[in-house]
């Protein structure tokens, strides 16, 4: 039986990681302190940007920034530790989702979950002046999407996996079925619990320095978008795959 190489990372995941690293390299080694500040103010997500009574429209970027920052904030990280923590989670979960969705669908999914994270943060922090940066909301979305298929029989996290591409094309759990699968429910409880603990400051989070806070509401927004909007991006299921799974010796 043919098995996948252990480090068979989808090209789109490598590309995303490279772009995020390049952004931080440029900020760290190319831009001056003032240029970096201007960059962050132009491309980070700042709730006060949408309330002229707070900053009076002084933030750079104008109307364009009111749109693009819903996505571009996810390309910026505070430091290499912040970047590394997000990549540690993106590698397994993002890779699983990318193998199932394909490159173009994955990038669209990444953008949509980033938008959802920013939208929830805006709804809960209207007028806040602190910039929000990091890919955590989109990474949370990939974690939620993976839960829709990874634990299924023959899926990449099941005991009956095949170690091949077919693991990523098993039938997805219907949305209502998520609440009936004990493994998925356990993952949801742990994930939400960790985010609440880190978000309330009960435990320090790697990559978050003094004076910084975890935008845990944005994480939840991205996660819920990944969970509920999964079917928007999931390619049509091929029924014959089910027959192949049934006929494969275990």
Q: pLDDT tens for residues 6-46?
A: 457 999 999 999 999 999 999 999 999 999 999 999 999 99
- Residue 5 belongs to some domain of the structure: no
pLDDT surpasses 80 at 156? no
- Residue 188 belongs to some domain of the structure: yes
**Quick one: pLDDT at residue 103?**
94
Nearest to 119 by CA among 47, 59, 191: 47
pLDDT surpasses 90 at 225? yes
pLDDT surpasses 90 at 119? yes
- Residues present in the chain in total: 250
Tokens 């571009």 locate to 72
Quote the CA–CA distance of 242 and 74 in Å, as a whole number. Answer: 37
Mean pLDDT along residues 91-108:
94
**Quick one: pLDDT at residue 243?**
46
Nearest to 219 by CA among 110, 98, 137, 107: 137
**Quick one: pLDDT at residue 226?**
95
Mean pLDDT along residues 98-121:
96
- Residue 4 belongs to some domain of the structure: no
CATH of the domain at 163: 1.20.1540.10
Quote the CA–CA distance of 22 and 99 in Å, as a whole number. Answer: 24
- Residue 3 belongs to some domain of the structure: no
Mean pLDDT along residues 96-110:
95
**Do the Cβ atoms of 85 and 207 come closer than 8 Å?**
yes
- Residue 6 belongs to some domain of the structure: no
88's tokens: 């540690």
Q: How many structural domains is the chain composed of? A: 1
Domain coverage including residue 177:
11-247
Total-model pTM: 0.82
pLDDT surpasses 60 at 55? yes
Quote the CA–CA distance of 145 and 101 in Å, as a whole number. Answer: 10
- Residue 2 belongs to some domain of the structure: no
- Residue 61 belongs to some domain of the structure: yes
- Residue 87 belongs to some domain of the structure: yes
Confidence of residue 160 (pLDDT cuts 50, 70, 90): low
Quote the CA–CA distance of 121 and 162 in Å, as a whole number. Answer: 40
Quote the CA–CA distance of 30 and 229 in Å, as a whole number. Answer: 38
Mean pLDDT along residues 46-62:
83
């Amino acid at each position: 039986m043919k098995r996948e190489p252990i480090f068979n990372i989808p090209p789109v995941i490598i590309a995303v990681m490279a772009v995020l690293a390049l952004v931080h390299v440029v900020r760290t080694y190319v831009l001056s302190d003032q240029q970096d500040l201007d960059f962050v103010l132009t491309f980070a997500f700042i709730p006060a940007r949408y309330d002229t009574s707070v900053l009076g429209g002084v933030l750079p970027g104008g109307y364009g920034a009111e749109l693009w920052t819903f996505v571009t904030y996810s390309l910026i990280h505070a430091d290499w530790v912040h970047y590394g923590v997000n990549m540690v989670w993106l590698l397994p979960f993002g890779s699983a989702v990318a193998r199932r969705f394909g490159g173009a669908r994955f990038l669209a999914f990444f953008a949509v979950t980033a938008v959802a994270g920013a939208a929830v943060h805006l709804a809960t922090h209207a007028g806040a002046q602190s910039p929000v940066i990091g890919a955590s909301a989109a990474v949370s979305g990939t974690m939620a999407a993976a839960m829709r298929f990874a634990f299924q029989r023959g899926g990449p996290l099941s005991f009956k996996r095949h170690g091949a591409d077919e693991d990523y094309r098993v039938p997805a759990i219907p949305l209502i079925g998520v609440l009936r699968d004990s493994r998925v429910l356990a993952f949801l409880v742990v994930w939400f619990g960790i985010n609440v603990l880190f978000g309330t400051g009960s435990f320090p989070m790697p990559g978050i320095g003094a004076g910084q806070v975890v935008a845990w509401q944005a994480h939840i927004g991205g996660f819920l978008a990944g969970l509920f909007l999964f079917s928007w991006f999931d390619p049509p299921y091929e029924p014959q795959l089910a027959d192949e799974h049934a006929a494969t010796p275990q």
